[in-house]
Amino acid sequence: MSRRAYLDWNATAPLRPEARTAMIEALDVVGNPSSPHTEGRRARAIVEDAREEVAALVGARPAEVVFTSGGTEANTAVLAGGWQTILLARIEHDSVLAPARELARNGKARVVDLPVADSGDLRALAGHVPEANGNRALLSLQMANNETGVLQPLAQAAAVAKAHGLSVHTDAVQAAGRIAVDFRALGVDFLSLSAHKLGGPKGIGALVIRDGAALPAFITGGGQERRRRAGTENVPAIAGFGAAARAAGGSLAEMDRVRALRDRLEAEIRAITPSAVVIAAAAERLPNTTNVALPGASAETLVIALDLAGVAVSAGAACSSGKVGASRVLEAMGLEPGLARSAIRVSLGWGSTEADVAAFVAAWSQVAVRRRERAVA
């Protein structure tokens, strides 16, 4: 079987060897982290060492890190924090949008939709933030978009929100391990992370909660995780998360090489198909992400054709009941629906190579040739 090119790192990254080793070693640790005996203390040490590594990756204090089952749980835990007003934009991940919309439908919170520039960011935020006026109000703003890679002016947005009395949450799932993240400097209250996006195992994440920030416990029934999330910790997964965080933090310089690969890929796309549109090409983006639309094509068809050619990418549009609809992220940015329905996401990572890019370019060329042949016929 020929080697496949995996270019869907924003969906999930391959498991780092450091994480695999840490998890295997942790599987042999018998104790419950809450037990006071020697075996329990060994398990507790694994959890706390990992907590330190995750905190270090994002510039937080270990005591501010609460382990969760992933980024979705971290996001929903914040949204369920008893807010009376929630500010967000349609570019947010579904794990932010869905709980906010549910709260609005049930009359439990007022949700304010924020405008998105055609570049995919919220730089015009200042005129759209209401005063909290003593209410519990939250701005939830992702650090980097999972589809386009566009980075938000998070520190500036947080300063504006704080000046109006709002708390601030950021979904940093796609950003951590790809760009430098400094929880303290950003000025946010809550920050969500997911291990499998940076080379850790699936099913483990974290919510960073600023010291003093008010947030109810999201699972009750025990004293684990600073009484915020009851239940015995998943020690092997946490060990893998810590090892992946340490490796990711130590290899941030590798992202310069990844950016060069991404830029080469985009240049090749434009050369082969001049009509292709690289979404938010002029915006500040993650170094590993490109979202490209091919006018007249179907995202689903492109993903299948590339997969058959041995290249894994994602559609920039959601598939429901066999129908492909335009991405709400791209629609929020003002893209014409037909163009949005033709968009795919290509995302690279620390293990991506020149050969991966070459495989994509070859497959893209085949797709372009077939489209031209059909047009002539």
Burial profile 294-320: b = 16 or more Cβ within 10 angstroms, e = fewer: beebbbbbbbebbeebbbbbbbbbeee
The backbone region for 342, taken as left when phi is positive above 0, alpha when psi lies in -120 to 50, beta otherwise, is: alpha
For the chain, count helices (H), then strands (E). Answer: 13, 15
Tell me if residue 12 is catalytic.
no
DSSP-assigned beta bridge partners for residue 219: 229
Catalytic residue among 319, 336, 369, 370: 319
Strands (E), 150-302: 167-171, 190-194, 205-209, 277-278, 289-293
267 DSSP assignment:
H
Q: How far is CA 141 from CA 69, 93, 152, 334, in A?
A: 21, 10, 8, 19
Rounded-to-integer distance, Cα 69 and Cα 190, Å: 16
* Nearest alpha carbon to residue 316 among 283, 280, 279, 291: 291
* Nearest alpha carbon to residue 69 among 179, 178, 201: 201
Burial profile 147-163: b = 16 or more Cβ within 10 angstroms, e = fewer: bbbbbbebeebbebbbe
Q: Which amino acid does the sequence have at 307?
A: D
Active site residues: 319
